[in-house]
Amino acid sequence: MKKESRKNVKIIFLITQIAVVMMISIAIGALIGYYLGKALKAEFVILFGIALGAGAGFNSVYDLVKVYLKDEQREAPKELTEAEKKRAEAEAAFKEWRDARDDEDEEDGEKF
C-alpha cells in the first residue's frame, strides 16, 4: 500500500473512532442520567448525564488525536542540521573517490 493511501486509511479510522467514542460516551451518560433521574424523581438529571458523557467523549477524542499526532510526528522525516548535511556530502564524495580508485586499480590489474 502506498504511503499516502496508508495515511488516508489512518485518517478514516481516526474519524470513525471519534464518531463511535462520542456516540457511546453520550449514550452512556444519557442512560446513567435517565436512571439516576428516575431514582431521584428528577427528570432534568438526564441533561447532566448527557453533559457528563459529552465531556468524557471530548476527553477521549483529545487522547485519540494526541496519539495520532504523536505517530505522525514520529513518521515525519527528520530535518538535517548543516553539520549533518556537510558530513553526508563529504561521505558521498569520499565514497565516489574510493569507487573511482577501485575502478582504476581493477583496470591496472587487468593490464598485467
Residue with more model confidence, 87 or 110: 87
Total tally of structural domains belonging to the chain = 2
pLDDT, tens digit, 9 for 90 and up, residues 1-46: 677 788 888 899 999 999 999 999 999 999 999 999 999 998 899 9
pLDDT, residue 83, reads 85
Residue 83 and residue 72 in one domain = no
Residue 4 and residue 56 in one domain = yes
pTM of the model: 0.61
Distances (CA, A) of 51 to 34, 41, 43, 86: 12, 19, 14, 57
Q: Provide the domain limits for residue 24.
A: 1-76
pLDDT, tens digit, 9 for 90 and up, residues 66-106: 988 887 777 666 777 888 888 888 998 888 888 888 887 77
Neighbours of 64 (CB within 10 A): 14
Residue 60 and residue 86 in one domain = no
Residue 34 and residue 89 in one domain = no
Residue 22 and residue 34 in one domain = yes
